[in-house]
Structure formats: C-alpha cells, structure tokens
Structure 1
Amino acid sequence: MDDWTTPFAGENLLESLQRHAFERGAKPALVWDGAGEVDYATLWSLLESLARGLKGRGLEVGARVVLVMDASRPCLLFYLGLLRLGGVAVVVDPGLTRVQWSQRLLDLAPAMVVAPSAILAEIAPCSGWQPLELSDATVATLVREGEGVALPGFPANSDAVLILATTGTTGVPKYVGLTLGNISAAATQINAVTGLTEADREVITLPLYHSFGLGRLRCGLGVGCRIHLLPGRFRPERLLKVVKASAASVFAQVPAGIRLLLAFGKRVSPWLSGVRLVEIGSASMEIAEKQRLMDYLPQARIWHHYGLTEASRSLFLEYHQAFAMDRLNALGQPPPGVEMMLDSGQSLMDGELLIRGPHVTMGYFIPAGQPSPPVRDGKWFATGDLVRRDELGFYHYVGRVDDVINLGGFKVHPLEVETMLQACPGILDVAVVAQGDGAARQLVALVLPDPSHPFAEKSVRDWMHDRLEPYKHPQSYRMVASLPRTASGKLLRRELSLANV
C-alpha cells in the first residue's frame, strides 16, 4: 500500500453487512416509495446470490463493470453484488451523452455494461464487453443462475472496487480508483465525526452516481441504520413529507438543495423537528445561509464537509460549534486518522493542502489502466487547493494553486476577488481573469449582470475600495451573457481565458 493512502485496519463494508445480516436480520435496510423494502438478512442473501450469478456469466474478480447508477432496487443490488464478487464498479450518470459514453467505454475497457434497455440500445455493443439490462427481471435471472456457483472470499482492503469520474475544475474526466479500504475508511471516519448510529433513519435524495450520495449510502449500511431512498429530481416538499412520515433523523443535501429548503422559511421547522443530523457538501454556502439553517434546525447538528472524490470528506465543520468559535467561514477540521500539512510549511501562511489517510485514492486510472496519483514525496496526496490553517486548527479555503495570478510580484487569488464582487448589488455571477503581460498585466472582471438590479461600475469600484487592497481591484469590467461552469457549478477557468478575454 502506498504511503499517501495508509492501510485501513477496521471492519470493512462487506464485513459490516454480513454482521448486520446475522445481528439485525429482520431490520429494514433499504426502503423505496412504492417499491417495498429489503431487510439486512435478505439484502445479504440477494447480493451474494447476485455475485454468484455474475460469476456464472463469466465476470472475473477485478473486472470493470460500467453501472448506470440510480436509487432503484436492482441498481443497488447490482452495486453491492459487484462489491461482494470483487468486481470494480464504474458508476455513471444516467444522463451521459453518446460522446461521453464512447469516451468512458474507450478509456476504461469494461467487461460488462449494466444499464436500462433504452441506454443499451443507444450505445452500440462492441467486442470486449457484454450488455446486461438493469432490471428486476435480470436480478431474478442471475439469482437463479447463481445457484451452486462458488464464491471467492471477500476482496482485500487494498483491492480496487470503485471508479468514479470527476471533472474537477478542468471539465476533462479523471477516473478515480477507490479500494475497499478507501470506501470503508471514509464511511468509518464520517460516522465517527457525525455520530451516525444503527438507531438512525436516513432519507437519501442525492444522486448515487456522485461521491456524496454514494458515500451516504455506505455510511448508513456501515452502521446498520434504515435508509429511505427517494429517486429522481430533488423536490424539497417531497423530502419534508417523507422525513416527517418516516420519523427520519438524518438527511444530506448539497447547498443548492438547502437553498430550496430555506425558501420555505420557518415553515420547514415543524416538518424537520425530528432531524438530529444534517450533512452538507460539494460546494460552499454563505454565512447568512448557514445562520438561517441553524435558526430553522436548532436541535440538529449540521455538518459541512470539504473533500474531493479522491479524498472524501477530509474536513468537517459543525455549524453551531463553529458559530460559537467565530469560524462559520472555515472549511473545518480533519477527522481522526486523517493527516494534513501545507506545502508552505507554515500554518498561518497560504499553502497547498496535502492529505494522507486510509480514505485517500489509490490513484487515477488512465486509458492504459495504470493509476497515476498526484503525490508529493511519495507520501502526500496533493489536492491542488490553497488553504490557510488558523491558530485554532481550522482550515480556510483560499483558491486553486494553478489559479493564482501574479501581478508584478503581487499574488492575487481570483476566488477572493470574485467572492467580494458576488456580494455586490448588480452582479449575478462573476469571474476574474488576467489580461496582458509584464507591467501591463491587469485584472479583468467578467460580469453576468443581475437583471433585477442595474449594474453601475462606479458603485462596484466604491464597493471594492472599502474591502480589498488596491492591487486586487479589477481594472475593467466586461459584461457577458454566461460563464462556463461544470454541471456541479465549478468555474472552467481555462475556457474563460480563451473564450472571454
């Protein structure tokens, strides 16, 4: 095992599921609206039978299987069955385009593609992978076919079991490889910090083809709690009703979803009065939004995480605790077992965040099939994020390492300038870039104006004058119709510099 991803010595997810099947077999594990439920004993039996069926179809341990991931019953059984067999699940978004499908298949050379029939009809089969329809009927067939097939032992903690594609800030997919130890360590660390227990009832509305949603599923299964799945597009009123009706104590959501809940105002409080734990992640939130959520859910511990697909949930911030310490604007602090350092070597100076721990990726899978991790000294995973660690041990986000702009020796982090501009009336969205060379190099703000408030450049300049040093002020402001962002909202800065300046 490489130094940047330290060995995981605890109970892994498969061992936990097997234990839950014996200790709390009749307890509901997964619940679907209109599609019934499955208890822990039945879940374990089904995933073992499905693993046998997949082996009977010729699937080998370590083989890659592209799985169109949703929250349906057959999909979750396929995912867990693959895990039991020791296959490598390549989970993908049901909304992939034909071009994206071609790229995934070419890059990763899977042995099998498990997808709804409509998607299988769209992607032409080729030699090297076999199609398998994602349906209850297919699950039933494989369970029958698996009778009498011998299963191998559990995969080792060091074995790859999952590949997630992440675009980061570049828009170009990177294939992140995660081992059984990685995903088990992440769930163990998250549960230790947040206090999730087998007595909890969680509602999952997040897409499971993203690290956040799939991670919540593993956290719940790891402790043996009851998980209620709500497939499809997030609808806040649906979440409120299900949380109330099912007496749920836990839910997780991204900031965009939290804002939809906040739009209901104080009316959400009685619907969520039984919630004791909320996890938020994948993007930042304004301090005012955090304070409103605290006001609406005074009884709940609200955790906001920082992490990458490569190093899931590496920092945690609990809102009520952070507010009391005047740290609501921080990223948080690392959980036990996660080591961090800054490449600057100084806590109170900006530096690239370096991480080491059992949850950190084994590396990237490139088309040739070999992991290629971005590490320092063979010991630390380099995040590419600039952060600052304060005197209380809280980490604060500064920007991306490769986004820093040098203006005659002065270093400017565009995110700092953008954050200040976005709070200015008249600006809906903004990106800051550099134009020119040498002494003529200057900052340019690309502004998407707010249609409800006229943009006035003098007012913006006055706003910046009181808030940031002069060298951080844009020299010019240009109006744009849109700004290039990824599906998750991250700014594509490379496209900015080429297309807009």
Structure 2
Amino acid sequence: MAAVDISPATALHRRARSRTASALVYEGREISAAQLDDTAAAFAAALAEQGLRRGDRIAYLGFNSVTFFETFLAAAHLGAVFVPVNFRLAADEVQHILVDSGAHTLVVEEGHRELVESVLGEVPARRHLLVDTDPSCPATQAPPAPWIPLSELLGAGRAARERAALHDADLAMLMYTSGTTGRPKGVMLTHGNIWWNAVNVDSVVDTRADDVNLAVAPLFHIGGLNALTLRTLLRGGTVVLRRGFNPEQCLDDLVRYRATSFFAVPAMYAALARVPGFGTADLSALRSAIVAGAPVPPQLIRDYGERGVLLQQAWGLTETAPFATYLPAGLTLEKTGSAGTAMPYTEVCLTHPGTGARIHDVDARGEICVRGPNVTPGYWNNPDATRAAFDDAGWFHTGDIAHRDKDGLYYIVDRLKDMIISGGENVYPAEVERVLDAYPGVLEAAVIGVPDPKWGETVLAVLTCEPGTEPTVDDVRDFAGRELARYKLPTRVLIAERLPRNASGKLAKAELRRWVEQQTASTH
C-alpha cells in the first residue's frame, strides 16, 4: 500500500478548497486558507528558483507572523526543512544555529537584520531574504546586498510547482533547544512526529474542526507552534495570531474572538489572571485551555477553576513534539498538579536515573522516559547526544524526574540537573516552589541550591511579591514547614522585581544564579 502524504502544505491546500472560514486573523487582518495557500505556493516557486531543494534548510528569524507560516508551508511544499530561530538569542547563539543547521536560505524580519549581519561572515547561507510584505513588521528601506526584499521575490509571477509528497520519516523541522547545558542542540522533528502529535491531541482534548485558537506563545517554540496552533490551521479552524504576548490584549482576544482553545506556559496564565477585569471576563467559550512548558503551581489551577476555566496540564518537550502526557479537563480539580497519563499513541515509563531499571512502585521517583511516533529520531549532526538520550530499547530519556500515583497519573517533580543535594538528601526545586507560590502575596517563587560548608548545598528562594509583601526567611520557613521537611526549607530569601525567563516562558535559572551571586557579592 502506498504511503499517505501527510504534508502540511497538502493539508492546507485541501482545506483551501473545502472551508471558507478565515484561516488566520493576524493582528486584526483576516487571511483565508486560499490566500495563505497561494502565497506559500508562490514562495515555494521563488525559493526553488533561488536554489532551495528538498532536504535543504531554510531558517526564519522574527516574531510571530503570517510570514512565519508562509515560510514553513513553502518549505513543506518543496520538502525542505524549516529552522525557526529563537528571536531572543544573542548573535553568537544565532550564528551557531545557522552554521550547525547549514541553512541554505535565511528569512529575517527588519529589527533582526543587524544581528544577522554581524555574523554573516561565518554563516554559509546562500540566500538572504528580508521581510517587507508585512505591515505589522518594522518598516524597512531598500536593503543592502546580500539582502533580497521578500516582495521582490514574490512579485515575479512564477508558475506553481507540484507539492512534494511527505511521509512519516521525512524531516520537517530543526528546533534548537534552549542550550541551558551548553550549545543548543538541533532537535530533528519529522512530519510523522508533527502529525502524530495532532492525532494524540485530537484523541483526548476537546478540539474541533471549527476551533478558534488564540496563538500568542512564540511560534519558534514547539508548544506555541504544535500544541494546538498548527492542527487548528490545517484542520479547518481559525488561528488568532499575535506577534507576542500582552496580557491585556490576550484577555481581550479571548473574549472578543470567543477563543475555544489556548496554549500558554504558567507564567503567561498567571499574568493573564492579574489583568483588571479578568474576574468578570466572559471566557465561557474556552474549553481547551492547556498549560505546559514549566512546572505548574497547583494554586494557579485552583484559581482558574474558581473562574470556571479548567486548565488542562500537559507535559512534554521539544523532543516529543510536544506532548507525551495530558490530564483531561474532568480531572483538573480532582488531580490538581498532575500532568496526566500517556497520550494514546505514546508510551511513558519511569526508570532509575543511575541504573536505568524500570520503576513500577507507586509514588517512587524516577526519570520519565518516552517512546512513540511523536518522539524525535535524534539530534542534528550530533550522534553522541542522540546515543546518550536513547537506550537500546528505543526509550528517550528526558532528564525530568516524576512519580506515578495509584491511578497511574504522572506528577513531574523537576529537572534532574536542577536537583539540590542537601546533607545527602535530594531536594527538587519545583516541589518547594509549588509550596511557596501559595504564600499570601507571593506572585512567583524560584528556588536554587547554594553552597553551604556544613550541608554541601542549601535552599535559596527568590520571590516576587505584591506591594507591601516582603516575607522574611523565618516567615517563609514557618509557612513552608507545614508541608515540607526541614531540609527542604529555604535558608535564605531574596526579593526580586521579576524572575528571569527565556522566550518560551521558562525560568532562566542560569541567569537567576548570576543575579543571586551579584546580590550576595553586594552584601559583603
């Protein structure tokens, strides 16, 4: 039997013929599936003329935009590989990604051009395209060589090319990890990985063909792109797309467009809840509100539950495209804090971090491992990292620590590498943070280990607070001591205006540690 074509370009073309609803509402401008399909096809023809071939890499650097989707779909049209680049990275990090991926073509928004120009001498890309077709992007004058305005490329009226048939093993994207433990690694995601995640989501989440999905999380992040947004766009719904996250605008969009699905990280949901008017906003249409990407404070889930919004916690990584587990809405309040059970077409297990032995005991902690058609085949140009991540049975070792309750539901404890060892006892920061998040007047809490001559390491907490709230270390220890063992309690507390986060909304612990070191140095 012939393999089925699962190309997103083919799916969009099919949708363009059968559905009339707007595919995108981008910064207030409505774009039909037919318009998006036509532009992507024209872009693909132009890229082919510029030498882009099947398997070549095309990188995109810019904020959320319709051009992001046009580039992704044009790449799929040709069977090329899309490389979305984190727009918050420094020049050296961008250079690494462009060199490591061997990008043939760069598509860059004005505002990021100067950063790219600073590293072009080291980047082997052959074509450099500057976005000038989007009125929501910064305006640009006629760019200097080697830049080609995108409008010039799209305006030549070339004949459309036949869409490449794409199957499970065909490479779709290289998504580079945040690089918190060194140079970013290129996660290879196949069209099968992307397609099977959509099958998983549509099997257990209340998604429908006519969904209205609000997309404000960064699209270069797998959660922003493939949790809900891509499946909505290709299946027939409407994606309300914003260039970035603004809490006030986000709340207005949820109400105005009657959004039915929404993905965000916990920090975004917390910011949304602080918007004046949140308590009375009509969110009755929102039935699939998924939270993932960082540890989720149970108090946040309870707060939304009181508003009638059931946050559905999921868990996964870039390498799992993104979801491996999911907690249905019906269990949100009964199993608050759980990341749910394995997705229907994904296997999950726990193993001992040292020996790799399977863990079957209830509530025993171990490294969570994943296997299934949504899991990456490995890391681009990095066979050592691929071998280190997969065992002989094909299980991907995630580096996350979890436990499983008597009902088979998983609870993510923390990253293995963030674990604090105090007096020989393991302390997981996320466990302490969940308790501190419930302290009255505390907005956010972050915990790290700091050196201690007696215990090796002890716990330090950094808090952001409402005006007038400034708890002492004794206050915090008294409060947290009701739920935590003494060795898990903070021995120091620092108050900060904000917690550093990366573009995906995850806590940037390396940056936080540098800030703590500076605060410590200034007090001595």
Q: Quick check: 2:206–2:287 contact (8 Å CA) kept in 1? A: no
Q: 1:34 to 1:45 in 2, by over 3 A?
A: same
Within the candidate set 5, 8, 11, 1:13 is matched to 8
Partners of 2:428 and 2:253 in 1: how far apart?
43
Within the candidate set 110, 132, 135, 1:135 is matched to 132
Partners of 1:460 and 1:46 in 2: how far apart?
56
**Aligned equivalent of 1:490:** 507
Per the TM alignment, residue 315 of structure 1 is displaced from its structure 2 partner at its CA by 1.4
TM-score, normalised by the number of residues in structure 2: 0.81
CA deviations on 1:372-407 (whole Å, 9 max, x unpaired) are: 661122410101011001111110122222334445
Per the TM alignment, residue 9 of structure 1 is displaced from its structure 2 partner at its CA by 7.4
Helix, strand or coil at the partner of 2:112: helix
**Aligned equivalent of 2:244:** 232
Q: 1:280 to 1:406 in 2, by over 3 A?
A: closer
**Aligned equivalent of 2:29:** 35
Q: Quick check: 2:214–2:240 contact (8 Å CA) kept in 1? A: yes
Letter paired with 1:13: P
Partners of 1:86 and 1:57 in 2: how far apart?
15
Helix, strand or coil at the partner of 1:62: coil
Q: Quick check: 2:470–2:495 contact (8 Å CA) kept in 1? A: no
Partners of 1:440 and 1:27 in 2: how far apart?
62
Q: Which segment is superposed worse, 50-59 or 407-416?
A: 407-416
Q: Which segment is superposed worse, 123-132 or 266-275?
A: 266-275
Partners of 1:54 and 1:195 in 2: how far apart?
38
Partners of 1:490 and 1:257 in 2: how far apart?
12
Is 1:218 paired with 2:211? no
Q: Quick check: 2:44–2:161 contact (8 Å CA) kept in 1? A: no
**Aligned equivalent of 2:257:** 246
Per the TM alignment, residue 50 of structure 1 is displaced from its structure 2 partner at its CA by 1.8
Helix, strand or coil at the partner of 1:52: helix
Is 1:303 paired with 2:297? no
Within the candidate set 331, 337, 345, 1:337 is matched to 345
**Aligned equivalent of 2:479:** 463
Within the candidate set 356, 360, 373, 1:346 is matched to 360
Q: Quick check: 2:25–2:31 contact (8 Å CA) kept in 1? A: yes
**Aligned equivalent of 1:3:** none
Within the candidate set 147, 150, 153, 2:164 is matched to 153
Q: Quick check: 1:162–1:179 contact (8 Å CA) kept in 2? A: yes
Q: Quick check: 1:341–1:355 contact (8 Å CA) kept in 2? A: yes
Letter paired with 2:246: F
Per the TM alignment, residue 220 of structure 1 is displaced from its structure 2 partner at its CA by 0.6
Q: Quick check: 1:54–1:146 contact (8 Å CA) kept in 2? A: no
Helix, strand or coil at the partner of 2:187: strand
- Paired residues for 1:165-314 under 5 Å: 165-167=176-178, 169-170=180-181, 172-215=183-226, 216-236=228-248, 238-264=249-275, 267=278, 269-297=280-308, 302-311=311-320, 312-314=322-324
CA deviations on 1:96-126 (whole Å, 9 max, x unpaired) are: 4333332323333311111124533443344
Is 1:119 paired with 2:119? no
Is 1:22 paired with 2:17? yes
Per the TM alignment, residue 177 of structure 1 is displaced from its structure 2 partner at its CA by 1.4
Q: Quick check: 2:54–2:80 contact (8 Å CA) kept in 1? A: yes
**Aligned equivalent of 2:336:** 328
Helix, strand or coil at the partner of 1:222: helix
Helix, strand or coil at the partner of 2:327: strand
Is 1:55 paired with 2:67? no
**How much is the aligned-residue C-alpha RMSD, in angstroms?**
3.4
Q: 1:55 to 1:373 in 2, by over 3 A?
A: farther
Partners of 1:318 and 1:230 in 2: how far apart?
27
Q: 1:235 to 1:423 in 2, by over 3 A?
A: closer
In structure 1, runs of 5+ residues without a counterpart are 1-7
Partners of 2:495 and 2:262 in 1: how far apart?
37
Partners of 2:207 and 2:350 in 1: how far apart?
30
Q: 1:294 to 1:430 in 2, by over 3 A?
A: closer
TM-score, normalised by the number of residues in structure 1: 0.84
Alignment: residue pair count: 485
Letter paired with 1:315: T
Letter paired with 1:314: A
Partners of 1:250 and 1:446 in 2: how far apart?
34
Q: Quick check: 1:434–1:444 contact (8 Å CA) kept in 2? A: yes
CA deviations on 1:147-173 (whole Å, 9 max, x unpaired) are: 346446323321212111222653742
Partners of 2:464 and 2:482 in 1: how far apart?
21
Letter paired with 1:234: N
Q: Which segment is superposed worse, 95-104 or 193-202?
A: 95-104
Q: Quick check: 1:29–1:227 contact (8 Å CA) kept in 2? A: yes
CA deviations on 1:9-29 (whole Å, 9 max, x unpaired) are: 7955344323323332x3321
Q: Quick check: 1:447–1:479 contact (8 Å CA) kept in 2? A: yes
Q: Quick check: 1:13–1:222 contact (8 Å CA) kept in 2? A: yes
**Aligned equivalent of 1:84:** 77
**Aligned equivalent of 1:4:** none
- Paired residues for 1:373-384 under 5 Å: 374-384=389-399
Q: Quick check: 1:107–1:367 contact (8 Å CA) kept in 2? A: no
Q: Quick check: 1:332–1:395 contact (8 Å CA) kept in 2? A: yes
Partners of 1:366 and 1:340 in 2: how far apart?
27
Letter paired with 1:173: P
Partners of 2:273 and 2:233 in 1: how far apart?
29
Letter paired with 2:68: C
Partners of 1:419 and 1:370 in 2: how far apart?
32
Taking only the aligned residue pairs, the percentage that are identical comes to 26
Partners of 1:227 and 1:203 in 2: how far apart?
6
Q: Quick check: 1:53–1:143 contact (8 Å CA) kept in 2? A: yes
Helix, strand or coil at the partner of 2:376: coil
Q: Quick check: 1:177–1:365 contact (8 Å CA) kept in 2? A: yes
Q: Quick check: 1:53–1:149 contact (8 Å CA) kept in 2? A: no
- Paired residues for 1:429-444 under 5 Å: 429-433=445-449, 435=451, 440-444=455-459
Q: Quick check: 2:174–2:188 contact (8 Å CA) kept in 1? A: yes
Q: Quick check: 1:200–1:225 contact (8 Å CA) kept in 2? A: yes
